[in-house]
Structure 1
């Protein structure tokens, strides 16, 4: 855990020097209990930055392709990242995620499943809904807006925790997840226009 927190602070400092980072609503993050952090996915900077903003250690569900790059598996070991095969249900990743949540820990997921090419929000995949309904744990939405460019402002707006009713249809729940994120992205964009 010492290496995790060292990397946490290194990422936080380095990215804060490169970008103008603005965070709103961080006090809404529950300090204990199982939690799924969900955010829109615009850039490769999203996972390390959102993880570095969280006041609790975070597990990262990471596409399996990244584990083939040199040195990345070593970094992933220390930042609690684990692989997921996309495009079809990955039972091993799902079991691992359920274990994390049953231990009362935190997972960071990007419901869209991959980065958006246009910046527009995409439909949520069903995995986040499955985990939330299976464990009845809280989700905390984050809307990311702004530009990941040198000295440009990136805003992270943290919303209120919510749960997904186990009786809600998968389709309704997927829509709810993206509505929560969309509202926060729009809030961040309106802050940027002031």
Structure 2
């Protein structure tokens, strides 16, 4: 068994200890060939749970600061993590992603760029969607529902709740080699992907679920401010 397979089992065991996990739509993940796996991001648990239940190996974009300790510098490459700099242009990551697409691999990106503070879907990073348009591989939206209730960003400890992971039907944006073609297709692609994530992610939170301090009690449909940066705004 590979290290990746071993840690998938560890992640699945950890997930079941913290949540009642339900998974639907695994058949929507291609059995071969390249694809992008695009989940929403509610909790620190999301990457662990999503990769544990995904039927294919996924190379996930991971913020470079996670590689700071000796343990994680050893562990994360074995989980096929790709270090990326947040809130700035990272052309090296783009080259790595395009190479993986050519090699027929799966790539995981959390397009909101960071965990939601209130459980709602945040605006998608335009640079991430530009990469999807440049690569042209099938895009699998993935709705993670309930991980916010297990361990929200503002909480110090988890509580056991139900988590649903829903792999949606592939979206095909086509390959756009020219920058001007990508810009023309960008807003439409963002709208389609956002709609898919919202549909897979709802109904979102049950009444009475905890709300982030200072959030005003609003979760579903709350509009967040656009992110400060993108993966590669000039793709």
User: What is the TM-score of this pair, normalised by structure 2?
Assistant: 0.76
Per residue, is there more helix in 1 or in 2?
1
Q: Secondary structure at the match of 2:198?
A: helix
Q: Secondary structure at the match of 1:169?
A: helix
Confirm or deny that 1:129 pairs with 2:116. Answer: no
Residue by residue over 1:16-68, the C-alpha shift from the partner in whole angstroms, topping out at 9 and shown as x without a partner, is 13210011111211111110000110111111111111111110100111111
Is the Cα–Cα contact under 8 Å of residues 40 and 142 in structure 1 kept in the other structure?
Answer: yes
In the aligned structure 2, how far is the partner of 1:65 from the partner of 1:87? 13
Matched ranges for 1:1-40 at <5 A: 2-40=2-40
Confirm or deny that 1:163 pairs with 2:179. Answer: no
Matched ranges for 1:50-65 at <5 A: 50-65=50-65
Is the Cα–Cα contact under 8 Å of residues 144 and 188 in structure 1 kept in the other structure?
Answer: no
* Count of aligned pairs between the two proteins: 190
Is the Cα–Cα contact under 8 Å of residues 60 and 80 in structure 1 kept in the other structure?
Answer: yes
Q: For residue 139 of structure 1, report the CA deviation from its aligned partner.
A: 0.5
In the aligned structure 1, how far is the partner of 2:88 from the partner of 2:188? 21
Q: Which runs of 4+ in 1 moved over 6 A?
A: none
Which consecutive residues of structure 2, in runs of 5 or more, have no partner in the other structure?
A: 151-157, 207-235
Is the Cα–Cα contact under 8 Å of residues 34 and 103 in structure 1 kept in the other structure?
Answer: yes
In the aligned structure 2, how far is the partner of 1:90 from the partner of 1:140? 23
Q: For residue 177 of structure 1, report the CA deviation from its aligned partner.
A: 1.3
For residue 85 of structure 1, what is the aligned residue in structure 2?
A: 85
Residue by residue over 1:48-101, the C-alpha shift from the partner in whole angstroms, topping out at 9 and shown as x without a partner, is 111111111110100111111341111101001011111122001111111111
When structure 1 is superposed on structure 2, of 106-115 and 62-71 the one drifting more is: 62-71
Which consecutive residues of structure 1, in runs of 5 or more, have no partner in the other structure?
A: none
The structure with the largest alpha-carbon Rg is: 2
Is the Cα–Cα contact under 8 Å of residues 124 and 175 in structure 1 kept in the other structure?
Answer: no
For residue 191 of structure 2, what is the aligned residue in structure 1?
A: 175
In the aligned structure 1, how far is the partner of 2:48 from the partner of 2:77? 14
In the aligned structure 2, how far is the partner of 1:14 from the partner of 1:88? 33
Q: For residue 189 of structure 1, report the CA deviation from its aligned partner.
A: 5.8
Q: Secondary structure at the match of 1:71?
A: helix
